Amino acid sequence: MCVFCAQLIRSVRRRGRYSARRGVEAANGVNSKVKNTSHIINSIVQDDPLEKALSVTTEMMTTRDIDRLFAQIVDTITSSFGFEGCDAFLLDKKTDEFRLVDTRGYEAEKSGEVLGIRTPRGNVVRDVGNSERLGRFTYLHKSGPDEDLSSYYGLMHPERASLPRENEDDWHELDVLYVTFEDQDGNLIGFLEPDSPTNGKLPSKSLVLNLEVFASLASIAVANAELVDELNQTIRNYRVLVDATAALQRPVDLNETLRMLTESLNELVSFDEIAVYLVDWERRILIPAFATGPYREEIMSDIGPISGLAGEVARTGKGEIVEDSWKDQRVEDIPGIEKVPNEIGQAMMCIPLMGKDGEVAGVIDIYREITDQFTQQEYDIAEPFATHTAVAMENFKLRDELKDNFESVRKAYEEMKNLDKAKDNLVNTISHELRTPLTTILGYLEMASEGLYGEVPPKLMEKFSAMLSSINRINSLVGKMLEMSRLQSKTINLDMNQVNLAMVTREVLDERKSEIHARKHHVQVLFGNELPVVMADRLRMHDVLETLIDNAIRYTREGGDVTVGADILAGKVHIWVRDTGIGISDEEKGKIFDKFFLADAGLTREDGRVGIGLFVSREIVRKHSGEMWLETKKGVGSTFHFTVPVGKAKRL
């Protein structure tokens, strides 16, 4: 297990877990209730758990409440996959920690104790990385004989903790199974810990496969729910910002305007006290304009020089986040407020009020309990309110100008709402309308084609084959769209290893044998296995070569020639793919690597392509510090080139 996560979670989870319901297993046998429960669960598992799990995915994909979604996920793990318990963790992006959001198997009292416990993301990533990888999303920490038992207190079956593993495939008390969730960019956003398999065995290949399919669907559902939550929060932020802007238009005095602004700010960034100071640069003094809290009168009387932290922020125009306002020597004492011995200070944010001319017009000081530190994200949210405050102080009487500003913000808000709606629709279309039903259809078709629902006649098998081919093609297209998105957002991660591009080239050609034979092409490879090994992402290099070779095969007339060559060019492995196909005109040559561009689109769109393969391929090559280019002549053919540096490529 995650040595931190396993120790922390198990230490709490296993204190008397199930003790009120099932008791502890006796040395000479198993409690009859446990036997009965195991029999029931095993019967469910044998009744195709994946099919039962898939039956709830539609509801999962439409769930936008993250708590309800995790309840569905954990229920499915414990009811359909043969585990007595399961914990679910979700990444808190604000603190960069994983938080326990749902659990099954505890008594009610224990559930209340453990829910909400946290572990740093770095610990989880490290410990998952040190575990045995069973699949794309599944990892196993298999305890060894030297496991530190002192780290595991209150185990479910303490009499088993020190016992050796009798058989290699037995589940041990200290084993841990991880099932991870990832967003569309491959980032870890959560994980499950299914616990105590009822058959007492380590996960079988079939169980791992079922968990993999379920985890991939659950990952999409979790990512969607988080995205919707973030979009809703963005809308709420904009609404508060718009309301604050509207407050500037109301015919009230400056103090009332500042009060409304600070109340709006408190909806997004909670605080206990706030103070607003004006800067009088001519007289070199700070003048309090607004304050809240028990020391309001003392703050409003605090007229003094431009000094201390407030003076530093006013002069530099750069805000500060202070962990302890009492220990920071730059935070000056306010006359009339005495510090109580041994009393801790407050967390503090000091934000400049930037005027329209770029000069600092004032400073905002925000305070709250030291146990609740301010974050950079909260500073970024509060900063626009500082700007609004500066506007209120500088332009309070210029209502016509402020009215125009409000109209601009209102339009921006409406545009943001439309954009948020478009994003939400896009996510729903890709995940719900495409990925989810395609995955479900693909799963059932594969099972049907393999005869799991009865013997398949030859003619029907042909139909199954055609349908599987079409679904896989759409899945491939969706995958390329997501790859393109990752490339554009610069969130792609390369899995760098030693790669022999000669072997990858031959693999791609072997996979295309049937198409080459059907088109009666003559294919020639001008190199053996002597190419230097490069550091690259093997799967993505495979995709690049597949795109270039596939294009050459498709767009070369029947009986044409396809040649693949390689050499060393300026310290880089240089590979080229030449065809005797239709070629590309000079007008279209410069656009060939653009997104969604297809040369002779009217002729080639019928093959189902959308024009992103070459764009993705070139960007992947560039991520490997290489380059891709084209030589072509209309009606004669094309040669696509790309290079990958010999030795260690730049990791991006």
Model pTM? Answer: 0.39
pLDDT at 248: 56
pLDDT at 31: 34
Collect all residues with Cβ–Cβ distance below 8 Å to 454 and sequence separation of at least 6. none
pLDDT tens figures, 329-344: 888 777 766 665 556 7
Q: How many Å apart are CA 610 and CA 595, to the nearest integer?
A: 9
Q: How many Å apart are CA 123 and CA 127, to the nearest integer?
A: 6
Q: How many Å apart are CA 581 and CA 583, to the nearest integer?
A: 6
β-sheet bridge partners, residue 510:
none
pLDDT at 566: 93
Collect all residues with Cβ–Cβ distance below 8 Å to 158 and sequence separation of at least 6. none
Q: Is the pLDDT of residue 288 over 70?
A: yes
CB 53 within 8 A of CB 210: yes
pLDDT at 610: 63
CB 496 within 8 A of CB 650: no
Q: How far is CA 352 from the centre of its chain?
A: 33
Per-range mean pLDDT, top range of 162-171, 219-228, 252-261, 552-561? 552-561
- Decide if 3-216 and 496-645 have a common fold: no
Whose tokens are 């043969």? That residue is: 82
Which percentage of the chain shows pLDDT scores above 90? 17
The domain 3-216 having CATH identifier 3.40.50.620: the answer here is: no
Sign of CA dihedral 243, 247, 248, 251: positive
pLDDT tens figures, 517-529: 999 999 999 988 8
Kindly report the CATH number that applies to the domain delimited by 248-396. 3.30.450.40
Query: Which of 3.30.70.260, 3.50.50.60, 3.30.565.10, 3.20.20.370 would CATH assign to domain 496-645?
Result: 3.30.565.10
Q: How many Å apart are CA 195 and CA 173, to the nearest integer?
A: 9
Question: Counting beta carbons within 10 angstroms of the beta carbon of residue 342, is it exposed (0 to 12), middle (13 to 18) or buried (19 or more)?
Answer: exposed
pLDDT at 343: 66
Q: Higher-confidence residue: 603 or 288?
A: 288
Q: SS3 of 529, please?
A: coil
- The mean pLDDT value for 600-621 works out to 69
Q: Is the pLDDT of residue 7 over 70?
A: no
Map out the domains of the chain as residue ranges.
3-216, 248-396, 416-489, 496-645
pLDDT tens figures, 585-601: 888 888 888 876 776 64
Q: Please, which pLDDT band fits residue 297 given cuts at 50, 70 and 90?
A: confident
List the single range of 28-32, 69-73, 493-497, 643-647 with lowest mean pLDDT.
Answer: 28-32
pLDDT tens figures, 624-634: 999 999 999 99
Q: How many Å apart are CA 69 and CA 49, to the nearest integer?
A: 19
Q: Higher-confidence residue: 384 or 512?
A: 512
Q: Please, which pLDDT band fits residue 25 given cuts at 50, 70 and 90?
A: very low
pLDDT at 622: 93
Whose tokens are 């799991």? That residue is: 452
Collect all residues with Cβ–Cβ distance below 8 Å to 189 and sequence separation of at least 6. 90, 91, 181, 182, 183, 219, 222, 223, 226
Q: Is the pLDDT of residue 420 over 60?
A: no
C-beta atoms surrounding 287 within 10 Å: 15
Q: Higher-confidence residue: 13 or 468?
A: 468
